[in-house]
Amino acid sequence: MSIRRQLSTVTYKSKRHNRQYASSSSVSLGDSSPPSSSSFDLNDTIVVQPRVNISSSPPLTKKRKVASDAQSSDSDLKKQTFLSLGQAERTTCVKCGMSYVSHSSLDVKVHEKFHKRALSGVEITIPKSILPLTTRSFGKVFMFTRESTANFKSVRAAVERILSLCNSELSAPEKDSIWRSGMAVVCCITEKKGKQQIVGACLVEQIDHGFWMSAQTGRLMASTGRIKLIMGISRIYMVHDSRRQGIARVLLEEARKNFIYGLDVPREMVGWSQPSDSGARIATAWCSSAITAQEIKQNELACTMENQKKIRVYIEH
């Protein structure tokens, strides 16, 4: 069956004669043979066989559908972890003191790991070549230095973890290195069910001078000037389950007796690095007997030991 369509009026212009030719003819699509030139006229009917392209591309609507499916799959990958609907943003553990987001699975796992260490201590395996300084009812006391732990990376890692707990709880900056010359870590290690754990640590370092600080105000007493010191207490920390058992006092005593070989460092030659409130209480109780009457007399702020609670402190570098 032939297809016919009405052609619109075509106007031809001749550049030479400026004449117009208008023709209105119908064209039938059905026969592919061209007409002869002798019998061709503008009013003749031209029949053309239509050509069908079998390998044509898919319709545009299908591509749009595929694109929309890709966009929907991308949107499905976007997941919201939680919604803020007025619930408490952070929770603070009353035992370990860590603040975390209770409805975040990642925060909960981090808190569980920190909580276990803060209450029970850090696991460690002590080599037989490292001997304890003393043995008490609550455990054994060891001193770790750069030389004694040179071949024991696991021991160093455990000591660093217990000091990291101390820095986290006290909001103290991390030390550049605790394994350099002139530094040592005195630790209390307990053993339960065949597992050894560090429950207390005291980081000490060698110093040469310090200052007096008022325990009440936390201010340096500039009028007294510098004082001679030998050993500095950089960090001291006990896990929560091992506090108020006298462990801190034992660590301090063993540190001053063994830090420098062959010398018992006098208490009046021991300084503290920016002690916290709890650290100031330990320092005041441990160092109160080391304040001589001559030192109190030289101080212009007080004249009796009762109203002049002061601590020897030093500035860390």
Q: What is the pLDDT of residues 126-178, one digit of tens each?
A: 999 999 999 999 999 999 999 999 999 999 999 999 999 888 888 888 887 89
Q: Which residue has the higher pLDDT, 291 or 241?
A: 241
**What distance in Å separates the CA atoms of residue 139 and residue 160, rounded to the nearest whole number?**
20
Lowest mean pLDDT among 47-51, 285-289, 298-302, 313-317: 298-302
Residue 74's pLDDT is: 52
Whether 200 is covered by a domain: the verdict is: yes
- Give percent above pLDDT 90 in the chain: 33
Whether 94 is covered by a domain: the verdict is: no
* Contact in structure between 43 and 21 (CB atoms under 8 Å): no
Whether 88 is covered by a domain: the verdict is: no
* Contact in structure between 149 and 155 (CB atoms under 8 Å): yes
Specify the pTM. Answer: 0.63
**What distance in Å separates the CA atoms of residue 264 and residue 259, rounded to the nearest whole number?**
8
**What distance in Å separates the CA atoms of residue 210 and residue 226, rounded to the nearest whole number?**
6
Whether 77 is covered by a domain: the verdict is: no
Model pLDDT for residues 53-105, shown as the tens digit of each residue: 555 555 555 455 444 555 555 555 666 565 666 555 777 777 667 777 777 77
pLDDT tier at 1, thresholds 50, 70, 90: very low
- Give percent above pLDDT 70 in the chain: 64
Whether 99 is covered by a domain: the verdict is: no
Residue 27's pLDDT is: 42
Residue 19's pLDDT is: 45
CATH of the domain at 175: 3.40.630.30
Whether 12 is covered by a domain: the verdict is: no
Q: Which residue has the higher pLDDT, 242 or 260?
A: 260
Residue 176's pLDDT is: 79
Residue 242's pLDDT is: 84
Domain count, the chain: 1
Taking residue 195's Cβ as centre, other Cβ atoms within 10 Å add up to 12
Whether 28 is covered by a domain: the verdict is: no
Residue 270's pLDDT is: 94
Whether 96 is covered by a domain: the verdict is: no
Burial of 150 (0-12, 13-18, 19+ CB in 10 A): exposed
* Structural domain span for residue 165: 113-313
Distance of alpha carbon 35 from the chain centroid: 86
Chain length of the chain: 317
